[in-house]
Structure 1
Amino acid sequence: MKDIFSRAKTYLRVCLLLLIVGCANEEKKYSAVNTFSTDISALYNQYLTSSISNVEKLNLEIPSEERKEYYKEARKYFKLMEPILAYSDKNNYKSLNAPNIIQVKGEESQDTRVINPIGFQVIEENLYEEEIDTVTLTRAITVTKDRLKLIKENISLKLKDYHIIWLLREQIVRIATTGITGFDSPVLSQSLLESKYSYNTLIEIVKMNENKFSSLEVKNKFIQSITDAQKDLDHDFDTFDRYSFIKKHINKQLKLLVEVQKDWNVKFPFEMALSNTMTELFSKDALNIDYFSDQLSDTTSLAEKVEFGKELFNDKSLSKNHKMACATCHVKELAFTDGKKTFDKNQIRNTPTVTYSAYQQAFFMDARAGSLEGQVVGVVKNHNEFNMSMDSVVKRVQQNDIYKNKLLKLYSNKRIDYNIRHAIASYIRSLNSFNSKFDRNIRGEENTLTEEEQLGFNLFMGKAMCATCHFAPVFNGTVPPNYTDTELEFIGVPSSMDTMNAKLSADLGRYELFKTPERKHFFKTPTVRNTGVTAPYMHNGVYTTLQEVMDFYNKGGGAGLGIENEYQTLPFDNLSLTQQEIDALIAFTKTLTDAE
């Protein structure tokens, strides 16, 4: 009995010792995280304080030039804190950096709210007007200042190694996809300078974490890659060579960041939109395709599900009259469009490509579906398309022994309706090759881009402001680097080619869903990939050539054609592009056609 009691005491001591050691190790890990978070919080607080101080000085009673200098300083510190704010407080970052257009939220939940914009872009646009709207400017300054103060009062950062890697990667991609495009510097066009500021913060964060490196060479190479990029950013906005910058600096930084995370032995709990191992921006492996799909879906046997989905996509028996398949409107040789102005019967909209459609958070031109699986339902029920119920589709699929066996083999659940839709969606999600001439060149696999095509890309990403709505690398309206929002725009597309007596297209777009007046004529921003083979263009197919499309944009959209509207979202009055520049833009877009 005594021996048993002695062994029990020994056992208790060992357990206690293990508990103490475990707690000590956990405390050590927590302390490391906490210390690091404290350092970043201090830097964050410093930038916030400086930004707030300068916003507070934007008094309308002081001279105009003095106000502008205070604004520039406030904006400078905002961009310095951008990597931290954008990672740790995404919603407040979006509000403070939003374009000067109204936002509509809560339509789907029937809690529709129309929100007037706040933040730096609103201040910038109003501050540089010849006649200042003092009411709007005063409100923007006040609300922006109060929002910054609220953020400062609630700083709470607990960052682990993988959080830091995510933060660094997001900012590198943000610089490449929105930072150097003029997306958030509508008047001053000082995006290159502001990108230098945000790079400074990345350097500071890496230096704070120096003790995590087992290889100082890796650390130094990463920091050097940033300082090299900063040197090249010291350039005029309009003539900046964005193609060379991404190829030379962004791709290098992404590769080095993977080396950093290997050096730190980082373990990621999961993957966000940006792949944890991305080394190229324009690559099929850059984005995590599962992030854009139903993450609860069974992803086992995915290749077989894709093949099954392809069969269903091409099967006319799923429509009421056995005469239409998905492939009837989405023809592979036309990048899955149909070459028609609008589809037959009573359809009023042009058939969009389904290539790269996986990289969205909303589907159909009016964004009425939230997933590709949901979009399939819309096609099935449309009286001018399949004109069926999903129950009827299920019956027809079940009557096909080959299909029935595949459903049993590939899906372990009994949600046949959903499984059919998932198979079709899985096939559509596979139509993202990233193997166009442009992709191969910017990855360095070949050197065949002409000077004109490179100029076209640089114009697209800069002076022509195309990339402020069509975001690289997918060139659609889903905003990087978080990819949580797919934007809708009102650009004022006319009903016909008559530019002398232009009239707005009668299609009310998003408005038809919820009758929100501020959403009249709003449509989802499509990808410009494969536009070389997807004519005609716009939601109503009004333009038959890319030259006509560029002429429309160059004039300033609908407003430039004399169509009066309150809510047009184009970030310019007109582009003032020369014919040579327009030709270059068209040449570039044609390099985005996928290879066979």
Structure 2
Amino acid sequence: MTQKNISQAKTYLCVCLLLLVLACNKKEDKNVYKSINNPVKKIENLYTRYLTNAIKYLDSIEGKSRAEQKKHYVLARKNFKLLEPILAYTDKGNYKSLNAPNIIIVKGEISFDTKVLNPIGFQVIEETLYEDTLDTLALEHTIRVTSRRLELIKKNLQLQLKDYHTIWLLRDQIVRIATTGITGFDSPVLGQSLLESSYTYETLIDILKINENRFTSKEVFNDFITAIKNAQKALDHDFDTFDRYSFIKNHIHPQLEKLVEVQKDWKVTFPFEMALSNDLTSLFTKETINLNYFSDHLADTTQIEAKVSLGKALFNDTSLSKDYNMACATCHIKEAAFTDEKKTFDKHQTRNTPTITYSAYQKAFFMDARAGSLEGQIIGVVKNHNEFNISMDSIIDRLMKNENYKEKITTLYKNKRVDFNIRHAMASYIRTLNTFTSKFDKNIRGEEQTLTTEEQLGFNLFAGKAMCATCHFAPIFNGTVPPNYKDTELEFIGVPETKDTINPKISPDLGRYSLFKTPERKHFFKTPTVRNIAKTAPYMHNGVYNTLEEVMNFYNKGGGAGLGLENEYQTLPFDNLELSKEEINAIIAFMETLTDEAY
């Protein structure tokens, strides 16, 4: 090879190497560009920023003056609320811990590995920091544990969000704002729930802007942003006088409608449905919450009408009881909204018969929450010596001798689980007792304009100043916590044995304690629905109160503590409500609008 050829070869080789380097750099630049414009990565960066700020402000509280401590807490809390939509969706367990009320936590009872834990998080810090006498050690400990939890979340942060995850995240937060955010659920001292709800909206706007290129319709994008900004303006209001009814009707429901437009614009398909309907446009309809989410038999919706019909027949059949003298309908009378209008059914019962309307929307059953499903609750009734007093095997034997029942049980279900199938049919019938046909439902859906000023005020007080909705969550108005509906809460409110206010004694029924003997669970009972409450007197687990006026006076005084029945575990989020007679009447007027048209 000549010197000239060698020189040409070297030049060619250099050019090839240069092109290769440029190609690699171009590929690397492209990946960097793609990373920068990845919506999930942008959301992750947003999330990281708020986590970092929350940690920073928490850590800066120690050693400051009381005024400076409060200022830094407020900033930490602001950043926590800004990260709430993402944290609450992607890490539900940690969100629940960090936003827990200042109440003892009991875990592991069912597995007999009971642990009693002190709560951590922002509500605990808030209550400690704003006490008249500051417990510095308690404050520092709670801040330290809370900050470390946030650090751990940040350290392990790696979001995996598909389009449908983003839709679920947005929907969850909109529903969270309506059902807990504007009620004062997690702002026990500062009472800044409306402002904090506006913060969470700010994050929703950021998430939508990050995903702007995902929209094919700019109109859908702009309309949604505008709807949220209008809601933020509405939230700039005094807590006690805020019109929650109009806010839900004029802001929350339109936002839910627009979110459905977004998922259509994005052409999102959902792999399944969680507790909230994937096509949710209103909080107050039969379609709002997925009933099958609460069933032990999620997939079994085939021939459901026939199964409901079978369940209704079994519900009314006395042959399910040992002496052929009792059916479910004996205690749960339809005309009384499926109660019996008695203090207790008979001398053998110690607890009042609750309504089973809307009972499907729970994760715990019986007043002490000892069953985890409707199907499981039926076993408890069957085995109870003071109720059906019979075994499931005996019931199966009786029903399978009835040709009509035998044919339905064997043809409607494609399995041999006769025991479960009987219970599932009965539970399926009970799951139909949720009609959402009350005056309140029709008005907030815009179908009627018949709600009086007093009734509307009553809802606004119920969901605001009176703090009823911090335990009785809309739209079911029971203790199953939205928007995930994973937990049904138990409370200790200090119900007395009698109406005697001079020498009151607490009800001797120990509630949840009787099951597992956990001292911190004495007198704890499940939070029931207040739907159809005007038709379900008498009230409380022991039927001690005959009227809603008596119930409201009990709460207005501060529950058991207000009667002088002091106990460190009472869970009411107030000492007393200081409601006027007019305000009490308005709340009662609202509760009366929750009566379904069938009753």
TM over 0.5: yes
Letter in 1 for 2:378: V
| Aligned counterparts of 1:283 and 1:104: Cα–Cα separation in 2 | 34
| Aligned counterparts of 2:122 and 2:242: Cα–Cα separation in 1 | 24
| Aligned counterparts of 1:374 and 1:197: Cα–Cα separation in 2 | 41
Show the counterpart of 1:10.
Answer: none
| Aligned counterparts of 1:556 and 1:104: Cα–Cα separation in 2 | 24
Pick aligned residue for 2:362 from 332, 354, 360: 360
Pick aligned residue for 2:294 from 280, 292, 295: 292
| Aligned counterparts of 1:395 and 1:350: Cα–Cα separation in 2 | 31
**Shift of residue 412, structure 1, vs aligned partner:** 1.1
In the TM superposition, what are the counterparts of 1:100-139 in structure 2 within 5 Å? 100-139=102-141
Show the counterpart of 1:55.
Answer: 58
Consecutive unaligned residues of structure 2, counting only runs of 5 or more, are 1-29
Contact 1:492 1:504 in 2 (8 A): yes
Q: Which moved more, 1:463-472 or 1:129-138?
A: 129-138
Contact 1:33 1:158 in 2 (8 A): no
Contact 1:345 1:384 in 2 (8 A): no
The total of aligned residue pairs comes to 568
Contact 1:34 1:159 in 2 (8 A): no
Does 1:430 pair with 2:432? yes
| Aligned counterparts of 1:204 and 1:75: Cα–Cα separation in 2 | 19
Does 1:282 pair with 2:288? no
- TM-score scaled by structure 1? 0.94
| Aligned counterparts of 1:566 and 1:508: Cα–Cα separation in 2 | 15
**Shift of residue 303, structure 1, vs aligned partner:** 0.9
| Aligned counterparts of 1:564 and 1:42: Cα–Cα separation in 2 | 48
**Shift of residue 135, structure 1, vs aligned partner:** 2.6
| Aligned counterparts of 2:149 and 2:185: Cα–Cα separation in 1 | 21
Report Cα offsets for 1:503-543 as digits up to 9, x if no partner: 10000000011111111000000000000000000000000
Pick aligned residue for 2:392 from 380, 390, 393: 390
- TM-score scaled by structure 2? 0.94
**Shift of residue 133, structure 1, vs aligned partner:** 2.0
Call closer, same or farther: CA 1:32–1:530 in 2, change over 3 Å: farther
Give % identity: 71
**Shift of residue 250, structure 1, vs aligned partner:** 0.2
Does 1:249 pair with 2:251? yes
| Aligned counterparts of 2:334 and 2:138: Cα–Cα separation in 1 | 50
Show the counterpart of 2:592.
Answer: 590
Report Cα offsets for 1:327-363 as digits up to 9, x if no partner: 0000001110100001213110000110111100010
Does 1:515 pair with 2:517? yes
SS in 1 for 2:116: strand
SS in 1 for 2:183: coil
Contact 1:34 1:158 in 2 (8 A): no
**Shift of residue 546, structure 1, vs aligned partner:** 0.2
- Alignment root-mean-square deviation, CA: 1.4
**Shift of residue 296, structure 1, vs aligned partner:** 4.3
Show the counterpart of 1:443.
Answer: 445
**Shift of residue 32, structure 1, vs aligned partner:** 8.4
Show the counterpart of 2:39.
Answer: 36
**Shift of residue 585, structure 1, vs aligned partner:** 0.3
Call closer, same or farther: CA 1:32–1:158 in 2, change over 3 Å: farther
Show the counterpart of 1:22.
Answer: none
Show the counterpart of 1:240.
Answer: 242
Pick aligned residue for 2:185 from 183, 208, 211: 183
Q: Which moved more, 1:407-416 or 1:203-212?
A: 407-416
Call closer, same or farther: CA 1:33–1:509 in 2, change over 3 Å: farther
**Shift of residue 58, structure 1, vs aligned partner:** 1.2
| Aligned counterparts of 1:555 and 1:239: Cα–Cα separation in 2 | 21
Show the counterpart of 1:378.
Answer: 380
Letter in 1 for 2:407: N
Report Cα offsets for 1:390-415 as digits up to 9, x if no partner: 00111111111111111122111111
| Aligned counterparts of 1:125 and 1:190: Cα–Cα separation in 2 | 14
Report Cα offsets for 1:358-378 as digits up to 9, x if no partner: 100010000000110110000
In the TM superposition, what are the counterparts of 1:315-326 in structure 2 within 5 Å? 315-326=317-328
| Aligned counterparts of 1:417 and 1:276: Cα–Cα separation in 2 | 33
Report Cα offsets for 1:394-439 as digits up to 9, x if no partner: 1111111111111122111111111100000000111110110000
Report Cα offsets for 1:66-97 as digits up to 9, x if no partner: 11111100000000000000001100000000
Pick aligned residue for 1:74 from 67, 72, 76: 76
Show the counterpart of 1:350.
Answer: 352
Contact 2:51 2:80 in 1 (8 A): yes
Contact 1:546 1:586 in 2 (8 A): yes
Contact 1:490 1:570 in 2 (8 A): yes
Contact 2:54 2:77 in 1 (8 A): yes
